[in-house]
Chains A and B, each alone.
Chain A
Amino acid sequence: MKRDEPGNLDLLAAEYVIGTLTGGARRAFEQRMRRDSFALRRVQGWEERLVPLTLALPTVTPSPEVWLAIAKRIGAGTGPSRWRAIAAALTAVAVLGIGWLVFEELRPREPQAVATLAIEEGAPLWRVELAAKGDHLEIEAVGAVSYPTDRSRELWALPTGGAPVSLGLLPKSGRIRVALDDRQRAALALSTQVAVSDEPQGGSPTGAPTGAVLGVAPLT
């Protein structure tokens, strides 16, 4: 075969494309295509001419597993658009959920109960609020609080039929938050009044008021 005749090259290309060029001759022609764009072009010409013969074959629908395997290998979801939509929906739900929790936590709510403490018949010194959830107190010094530095002012719940229960020290100024334990919460639930007493610095050493009761206020 005279290899360099254009007709021969075209015939080789055609036999390569239909597949009848086999074995060593097929490999040799592949080698040639790699360096000879003219030969490659002849091959593509035949691919183009004959492709209608492939498309004439009755179609065969692949099993669904084939697409699943392909999608996995290229890093796509099983149905890219559908899974993306599901992921977006789940994200939205999570964001809304977290947002709601944060909002619930932060939104100001009416306190369960409030007491305004004064000493004897003086001006109000502390405003005490039992938070809506009942888990803490908000205490604010609202007046000019003054007492000796070696003393403290202590807040007490006065449960009906029980001993006073300490609710912690009152601030000299500003606003503090006092977390309540179960015992304090139970005492407050039974209290209609709170009291302030004079105590050594750091508060009563006994757990019961040791100094004078300076004031009592209704908890409403």
Chain B
Amino acid sequence: MSMCVRNTRFEADWMQAGLCQRHPPTSPLRILGMMVSDTGRSADSEVAGLIARCARRDQAAFQRLYESTSPHVLACLLRILRQRALAEDALQEVYVQVWNRAGQYQPERGSAWAWLVSIARYRAIDLRRSEARRPAETGVDLDQLTAPFTATEPELGFGEQAARALERCIGALQPRQRECIVLAYQGGLSHAEVAAEVAEPLGSVKSWIRRGLAALKRCLES
């Protein structure tokens, strides 16, 4: 996969975002390999603890949360929004929301990282699409999307084990399925944008993504 060189428009965007120079085209597996060996990331329990202190209006905890998580969140926003200024504006909005809604996070419902990253991703996807087709549509109601659940389900684990399981199952997908899913997820791309990126028909891309997701789920649940 070569996100940086296949499409000249995107190439310019990636260069602007400062990603290509620092990180040449990387396969999803290599990306995951980097992740699994990444021990610099704050443990989920630590992030969850900081969010809990934010809920009690502890500004020092909020600053620590920001310092330890914002480089990951900015990476996510930048990959989707592709412009540093836009991504940093979104980063500001995301953390103000995190501060305001810290009390809504419930550790027993899911991991702290997933909570944090979801706030950022939905905001970025929404921004990206409202930028693409002005006038902007009504934004996603993030409060609703992360509202507490009423259903009781087995707890979701998170950490090295989950990352390794995802790595194994993503690796087991057919290459086209894997490429399209990772492109869509990390870049916040639509089917059509993924099709343009991989230079394949829209119908094929839709089908790869659908089958890839189903296979991924089967693998992760096995």
How many positions in chain B have a CB within 8 Å of any CB in the partner chain? 75
Contacts of B129 in A (CB 8 A): 22
Q: Looking at chain B's contact residues, is the secondary structure mostly helix, strand, loop, or mixed?
A: helix
Q: Which of B75, B99, B114, B147 contacts A59 (CB 8 A)?
A: B75
Contact present for B63 and A58 (CB under 8 Å): no
With an 8 A cutoff between CB atoms, is B105 at the interface?
A: no
Q: In the complex, are the beta carbons of B34 and A56 less than 8 A apart?
A: yes
B186:A53 contact, CB within 8 angstroms: yes
| A60-68, A157-165, A199-207, A212-220 - the one binding chain B | A60-68
A41 to B91, CA, bound (A): 26
Contacts of A62 in B (CB 8 A): 70-71, 74, 88, 91
Q: Given the known A-B contacts A57-B75, A76-B59, are A47 and B117 also in contact in the complex, defined by CB atoms under 8 Å?
A: yes
B151 touching A73 by the CB < 8 A rule? no
* Cβ-based interface call for A102 (8 A): no
Minimum distance in angstroms from B37 CB to a CB of chain A: 10
Expressed in whole angstroms, the minimum distance between the Cβ of B163 and any Cβ of chain A is: 4
Instruction: Label chain A's interface by main secondary structure.
Output: helix
A69 interface residue, CB < 8 Å from B? yes
List, in ascending order, chain A residues with CB within 8 A of B23's CB: 58
Q: Which B residues touch A18, using CB under 8 A?
A: 181, 184-185, 209, 213
Interface membership of A40, Cβ < 8 A: yes
A71 to B60, CA, bound (A): 11
B82 beta carbon closer than 8 Å to chain A: no
B113 to chain A, nearest CB (A): 6
A48 to B159, CA, bound (A): 10
Interface size class of A (residues with CB under 8 A): 35 or more
Residues of A within 8 A of B88 (CB): 62-63, 65-66
Contact B158 A73 (CB under 8 A): no
Residues of B within 8 A of A (CB): 18-19, 22-23, 28, 31-32, 34-35, 38, 41, 59-60, 62-63, 66, 70-72, 74-76, 78-79, 88, 91-92, 95-96, 99, 109-111, 113-114, 117-118, 121, 125, 129, 138, 140-141, 144-145, 147, 149-151, 153, 156, 158, 162-163, 166-167, 170, 181-182, 184-186, 188-191, 194, 206, 209-210, 213-214, 216-217, 220
Residues of A bordering B, CB below 8 Å = 7, 10-11, 14-15, 17-20, 22, 27, 30, 33-34, 37-38, 40-41, 43-45, 47-63, 65-67, 69-71, 73-74, 76-77, 79-81
